[in-house]
Amino acid sequence: MLDKNNIINNLIKKAGVDITVDQAAAIKAYIDLLLETNKQINLTAIVEEGEIWRKHILDSLLIFCALAVPPGARVIDVGTGAGIPGFILKICRPDLHLTLLDAQQKKVKFLEKVVTRLGLNGVECLWGRAEEVGQNKNYREKYHLAVARAVAPLNTLAEYCLPLVQIGGFMAAYKGPTGEQELKEAAGAINLMGGTATKIWQRQLPGGEERRILVIVKKERVTPPAYPRRPGLPAKRPLK
């Protein structure tokens, strides 16, 4: 696939990431299925393949430039939607143990279809609310890394994600230009959830002017048992 599209190949190199021909083919198969299913259910507003590569795929892979994800890490993608960034991380790092979490059953069914079609191992497609999953002993504080992209403001996202992260693990929030301001507003929520040692990593997305920010939060203390609160409250009454 990369031999047919030098533009995509150049973008990948400029982003500072590296993928094999087989991984590129798997991502292409995912994109084809995404666009096919998008005709029936709304999975992505971006329908031009080159822009999917640039704005979804490359954006997803930037985490490997910003954070050393250890071999065999357990990763949960909170509010994954169509499986971005989770599927892209898994395709490029097959050693990862991935949970894809979404509250919409129709999207979870799509995720399951992708897993079957691509023959992916070590992927759990989970239908549920982050607030409920975060109180479930099978998932609470079990993950080395929780990622979220285009889900919620950072103060709400901290309550969704950090209860799922083990001590010593990380939350990584994919953000645009508002990321730095969101971090200032979310400092109290991050601290309450047990997170500290926050850093901002940023880069301009190749092929355009978009500035991408990753807010990376380290989990250093146990999240108080009262959090996350019941479904709906983190969004309606964000922590200060």
111-153 pLDDT, tens digit per residue, is: 999 999 999 999 999 999 999 999 999 999 999 999 999 889 9
Q: Between these two residues, 59 and 124, which has the higher pLDDT value?
A: 124
Tell me, rounded to whole angstroms, the distance of Cα 165 from its chain centroid. 14
Does residue 51 fall inside a structural domain?
yes
pLDDT tens, position by position, 164-203: 999 999 999 999 888 889 999 999 999 999 998 788 988 8
Tally of structural domains, the chain: 1
Reference 77, options 113, 103, 45; nearest CA is 103
Domain that holds residue 78: 2-225
Q: Residue 106: which pLDDT band, with cuts at 50, 70 and 90? A: very high
**Tens-place pLDDT, residues 78-90:** 999 999 999 999 9
DSSP string across 100-143:
EEES-HHHHHHHHHHHHHHT--SEEEEES-HHHHTT-TTTTT-E
Residue 136 lies in a domain: yes
> Which two three-digit tokens encode residue 220?
């250093």
Asked, for residue 30, whether it belongs to a domain, the answer is yes
Tokens standing for residue 38? 């998008």
pLDDT score at 50: 83
DSSP state of 205: P
pLDDT of residue 194: 97
Cis peptide bond prior to 153, omega within 30° of 0: no
Q: How confident is the model at residue 27 (pLDDT cuts 50, 70, 90)?
A: very high
Mapped onto helix, strand or coil, the DSSP state of residue 212 is strand
Residue 98 structure tokens: 């991935």
Query: Is 154's pLDDT higher than 50?
Result: yes
**Cβ neighbour number for residue 43 with a 10 Å cutoff:** 21
pLDDT at 3 (0 to 100): 42
pLDDT of residue 7: 52
Nearest-10 Cα torsion for 56, 88, 69, 72: 170
Q: The domain spanning residue 186 has which CATH number?
A: 3.40.50.150
Give a yes or no: residue 230 inside a domain: no
Residue 234 lies in a domain: no
pLDDT at 5 over 70: no
Does 236 reside within a domain?
Answer: no
Instruction: Note whether residue 217 is domain-resident.
Output: yes
Percent of the chain with pLDDT over 90: 71
Note the pLDDT of residue 4. Answer: 43
C-alpha dist (Å) from residue 161 to 22, 134, 187: 31, 8, 14
Give pLDDT, residue 178: 86
pLDDT recorded at residue 13: 64
The length of the chain in residues reads 240
In a domain, 113, yes or no: yes
Predicted TM-score of the model (pTM): 0.92
User: Per DSSP, what are the bridge partners of residue 187?
Assistant: none
